Structure 1
Amino acid sequence: MPPRSLASLAHALAAAPDLDNALIALGECLAELDRGASLALIQFDARREMLRDRLTPVGAQVVRSSMETTFDHLPEPVRTRILAGGPFIDVTDRSADYARLCGFSTMLEGGVLSVRGVKVEGLLGAVLALYEPRKIFGTRTTERLAPAIALFDLAYVRLAERDAREEAVRTLEDVTQRVHGEYVRKLSVLEAELREVRNTPREVPAINPAEMIAVQAEAARAVEEARRAARKAELADQQLTSAVSQLEQAHIELHRRSEALRQRTRTLYLVDRALTLDAETTDARRLVDALLALVGDDMQAQRCSLMLRSPEPDYLYLAAARGIAPNVVEGMRIRIGEGVAGRVAAAREPLLVQDVREAAQHPLLRDQYFTTGSFISFPLVYHGELVGVLNLTNRAQRGVYTDEDVERVRLLGLVISLIASRNGLPDRLLETLDVR
């Protein structure tokens, strides 16, 4: 089975119906990175300040166990950093003792326990503990797992918000049921009393007029109480309906903010990845292919290409591509001002087409490999100089690109322009293609 990528992990976490499935996906990602490491999610009860339940992914299931341990068992500096959230914290002193406290089996050659806080709406919701073998050389498992943990945090917040919303709806429904039941009970009692008064035999001798007036007054009071109870029930129902509507609007807003945060986190990760490629890769061919794959995978483009400025005046050449027609080869030139990429290079303005059928004059209509009606062509400009053009088409599942996608490509395009200009990629790569 191929290693789980961040994209597949993000999809698995987004589709997870509950916390167990999200934790299993994270556990599978950890197993692919380090089979000797163990992971546990310890839920935190803020009201009692207790570490309550321990959830451990084991294969395709989650093992639950009760801890009921006070939070102050952990060292003061560690507690402070857990409450603040952020990256993993190493529990260096007495690591084996605290590993047993978290439910891990002690490693014979020694291990390192790392913990971090998972926060929901600014409050600590759980503690994530990772116990890994002690290494002398190589990258720590906590560092390699950091992007996956960031994605798990978003999934945890989404599931916690959903659970809180469902709990609020259940509470409102319980209140409604109790109010309605009390109203029905009181109304039944009043109706029974009224029937009893009405069915009193008239032939009872020597009825006291004062008692008759009192009975009538009591019946009138009963009717009035029934009316007031019905009015209160109606007002309570209106308030509950308004509260449910406000909760739904709040949920929509929370979902929107969560999606915006997820997009920002993804964009920051891509920028970091691009800069890391620039720092680690000296081969121009590998660097260009990696940058194009980074943008293409993020935008779900089944067909994409990167064109760079040619030394010849007014020409671009194909530097890297994926999913293009077989007769199109790397290194081929197009004149600036001709074709889609040429016109975008000349105008230096991004081109977004959401339905190519509305642009009948567009050359891509005659391309048998063009299978969707939406594409983005974006100019790469650095300090006023044209660097190249980035083309993204054939979005997966016949999706449509939007203005928000163009803004994401704008940021990534600036990073690619910076890297290409700083490394002289247009000239270096063209020399490699000419040798071929």
Structure 2
Amino acid sequence: MPPRTLASLAHALGAAPDVGAALVALSEALAELDRGASVALLTYDERRGLLAERLLPLGGHTDRAPLDASMEHLPTQLRLGIMSGGRFVDLADRSSEVSRLFTLTLPAEGTLSLRGVRVEGYLPAVLALTEPRKIFGARVLDRFAPAVSLFELAFARLWEREAREEAVHTLEEVTQRVHAEYVRKLGALERQLADVRATPAVGMPAIAPPPVAMEMAATQQAEAVRRAERRAEMLEQQISSSAAQLEQTQLELHRRGETLRQTSRTLYLIDRVLSLDAAANDPRQLVDGLLALVGDDMQAQRCSLMLRAPEPNHLYLAAARGIAPHVMDGARVRFGEGVAGRVAQSRVPLLVRDVRDAGTHPLLHDQYFTTGSFISFPLVYHGELVGVVNLTNKANASAYTDEDVERVRLLGLVIALIATHAQLPERLLDVIAVA
């Protein structure tokens, strides 16, 4: 997919008011790749374990239809692959059967692929991609992956907003219900107390009752007052508990709002670097923009981008900020040596969370790292290693988390895509050699 299409898709997804509009934008991007392919979104109800609704883009709007379908009939390995998200799972020979179950239109001899869309550990939806079967050329699902990653960012933002609105609405209902119950019970208690206090005066005989009768009446009044006080105390505890729940919910809403802000910023930075890729011819300007994309988004005071060198099993330093001044651009690192070399060799992200333990980490002897929480992430595109991005010394002195690694994964996909299409590893080396 040309960068121009990715940039326009990022703009459309950023402006989408709801999930349906975002799905329409994704469908238009798919049409640029293959007009015979189609995409649909299946909402997933984790409580019931069912796909609840099918959203299908049709001519600028979204057709919604109830589904109530289960994925239990799929083999366990396929089902787990779909629910884990992050990639499309090809249903191959089962494409026709599952398409009928999900009321999707499958091209003649076409295939169906499903991909779970995960947000903060939840599975709110599944993307369904149908495409004609091809004998030659790359499949649509491989070329469609960058666009889907952008859609997942927009979906997370919209899903968070809908969840927040639903939580606020639920809180308002609960608060109103608790307040109404409080007023009702308080009124009933006041009436009971008034009745108890009025009983002796109303029922007082002309002749004073025997001492035993007076003592029994006093005991009954005391018991009625005790019960009324007990009910008032229980009601006050219920109100205190509801207030604590409301406070907890407000904290959760604040946390989700912060996540939404970060996601929106990530989408903005991706749009900015895609625009830079479309306009910049200077490889140095482009690589600095790619490093700024991930470094600014992850608040890394020290970061570096290493690209694949022409020598076998080597990386070279393409761009950096905050590292020692004697470390020059173009410096080589062999696979298996230091942090970046080991990550390049294993192609497995490395995360050190605890800043206190980072000082004794055996990999911190690498010349491109300082002590502190850090992330080293491999950049892979279509199975080929493009480079490694290193992030450390977070601006607010906090530790990186698994959520940060997931955000780097999305940013890394964009960096690997742009670096490959722009032939950045080869072109940048020529510029460094001249300098």
Take 2:269 and 2:434, find their aligned partners in 1: how far apart are those partners?
28
Measured in 2, the distance between the counterparts of 1:9 and 1:102 equals: 27
Q: Using a 3 Å threshold, how does the CA distance of structure 1 residues 263 and 207 change in structure 2: closer, same or farther?
A: same
> Displacement of 1:203 after TM fit?
6.6
- Give the conservation status (yes or no) of the 8 Å contact 2:193–2:228: no
The CA deviation at 1:128 is 0.9
CA offset at residue 88 of structure 1? 0.9
Within 1, Cα distance between the matches of 2:220 and 2:17?
Answer: 57
Report the Cα distance in structure 2 between the residues aligned to 1:265 and 1:244, rounded to whole angstroms: 31
> By how many angstroms is 1:263 displaced?
6.5
Is 1:245 equivalent to 2:247 in the alignment?
yes
Native 8 Å contact 1:176 1:236 kept in 2: no
Asked whether the equivalents of residues 7 and 275 of structure 2 are also in contact (C-alpha less than 8 Å), the reply is no
Q: Is the 8 A contact 2:157 2:264 kept in 1?
A: no
Taking the aligned partners of 1:208 and 1:173, their CA distance within structure 2 comes to 54
Q: In structure 1, what is the equivalent of residue 373 of structure 2?
A: none
Counterpart CA distance in 2 for 1:12 and 1:268 is: 13
Aligned to 2:191: 192
| 2:55 maps to 1:55 | yes
Q: CA deviation at 1:30?
A: 2.4
**Partner residue, 1:71:** 71
Count matched residues: 319
Question: Residue 20 in 1 paired to residue 20 in 2?
Answer: yes
Go from structure 1 to structure 2 and tell me whether the alpha carbon gap of 1:32 and 1:51 turns closer, same or farther (over 3 Å shift): same
TM-score (norm 2): 0.58
Please tell me whether the aligned partners of residues 92 and 112 of structure 1 are also in contact (alpha carbons under 8 angstroms). yes
Name the SS of the counterpart of 2:179 in structure 1. helix
Distance 1:158 1:270, change over 3 A: closer
Code of the aligned partner of 1:288? N
Distance 2:274 2:5 in 1: 16
Structure 1 residues 220 and 247 mapped into 2: Cα distance closer, same or farther (>3 Å)? same
Pick closer, same or farther for the CA change 1:245–1:150 going to 2, 3 Å: same
Distance, in Å, in 2 between the alignment partners of 1:193 and 1:154 is: 58
**Residue in 2 aligned with 1:309?**
none
Give the stretch that moved more between structures: 76-85 or 182-191: 182-191
2:10 and 2:267 in contact (8 A); partners too: no
The 8 Å contact of residues 4 and 29 in structure 1, kept in 2 or not, is answered as no
Change (3 A) 1:166 1:263: closer
- The amino acid of 2:42's aligned partner reads I
- How many Å apart are 1:79 and its aligned residue? 0.9
Say which SS state the counterpart of residue 93 (structure 2) adopts: coil
- Larger Rg belongs to: 1
For 1:423, the equivalent position in structure 2 comes to 430
Q: Distance in 2 between matches of 1:17 and 1:237?
A: 37
Question: How far 1:115 sits from its partner (Å)?
Answer: 0.8
CA distance in 2, matches of 1:226, 1:7: 67
State how far apart, in whole Å, the 2-side matches of 1:140 and 1:131 are. Answer: 11
Provide the rounded CA distance (Å) in 1 between the counterparts of 2:273 and 2:11.
20
Moved more, 251-260 or 98-107: 251-260
Query: Helix, strand or coil for the counterpart of 2:29?
Result: helix
Q: 1:291 to 1:149 in 2, by over 3 A?
A: farther
Distance 1:271 1:292 in 2: 11
Assess, with a 3 A threshold, how the Cα gap between structure 1 residues 11 and 299 changes in structure 2: closer, same or farther: farther
Change (3 A) 1:130 1:293: same
1:155 is displaced (CA, Å) by: 2.8
Per the TM alignment, residue 116 of structure 1 is displaced from its structure 2 partner at its CA by 0.9
- Going from structure 1 to structure 2, the CA distance change for 1:216 and 1:68 (only over 3 Å counts) comes to same
Partner SS, residue 52 of structure 1? strand
1:130 aligned counterpart, secondary structure: strand
Question: In the superposition, relative to structure 1, how do residues 187 and 288 fare at CA in structure 2: closer, same or farther (>3 Å)?
Answer: closer
Alignment-mate amino acid for residue 90 of structure 1: D
Does structure 2 conserve the Cα–Cα contact (< 8 Å) formed by 1:154 and 1:258? Answer: no
Partner residue, 1:81:
81
Q: Distance in 1 between matches of 2:256 and 2:149?
A: 18
CA distance in 1, matches of 2:275, 2:74: 35
User: Mapping of 1:83-232 within 5 angstroms?
Assistant: 83-107=83-107, 109-197=108-196, 198=198, 201=202, 204-205=205-206, 208=209, 213-232=215-234
Q: CA deviation at 1:137?
A: 3.5
1:126-166 CA-to-partner distances (Å, cap 9, x unmatched) read 22101122233443322232112112222333333444444
Q: Could you tell me whether the CA contact under 8 Å between 1:190 and 1:222 is conserved in 2?
A: no
Shift of 1:82: 0.7
Task: State the SS of the aligned residue for 2:105.
Answer: coil
Q: Give yes or no for contact 2:330–2:432 (8 Å, CA) kept in 1.
A: no
Q: 1:23 to 1:287 in 2, by over 3 A?
A: closer
CA distance in 1, matches of 2:275, 2:15: 25
Give the Cα separation in 1 of the matches to 2:134 and 2:127. Answer: 21
Partner SS state of residue 124, structure 2: strand
C-alpha distance 427-68 of structure 1, shift in aligned 2 (>3 A): same
Q: For the Cα contact (< 8 Å) 2:6–2:274, is it kept in 1?
A: no
Please state whether the residue corresponding to 1:110 is helix, strand or coil: coil
Q: Note the C-alpha offset of 1:18.
A: 3.1
Specify the code of the residue in structure 1 equivalent to 2:45.
D
| Change in 2 beyond 3 A, CA 1:10/1:106 | closer
Write the distance in 1 (CA, Å) between the matches of 2:8 and 2:230. 59
1:93 deviation in Å? 0.6
Deviation at 1:287, TM superposition (A): 7.8
Counterparts of 2:187 and 2:113 in 1: how far apart (Å)? 63
Q: TM-score, normalised by structure 1?
A: 0.58
Distance in 2 separating the partners of 1:382 and 1:138:
37
Q: CA deviation at 1:113?
A: 1.0
Query: In the TM superposition, what whole-angstrom CA distance separates every residue of 1:7-35 from its partner, at most 9, and x where no partner exists?
Result: 44334434444322332332232234333
Counterpart contact for 2:116–2:127, Cα < 8 Å: yes
Q: Which runs of 5+ in 1 are unaligned?
A: 278-285, 301-347, 351-379, 386-402, 429-436
Deviations 1:184-237 (A, max 9, x none): 223222322333442753675557455555455444444444444444444444
- Which residue of structure 1 lines up, in the alignment, with residue 33 of structure 2? 33
**Counterpart for residue 382 of structure 1:** 329
Helix, strand or coil for the counterpart of 2:202? coil
Q: Distance in 2 between matches of 1:55 and 1:418?
A: 41
* Cα distance in 2, alignment partners of residues 138 and 158 from structure 1: 34
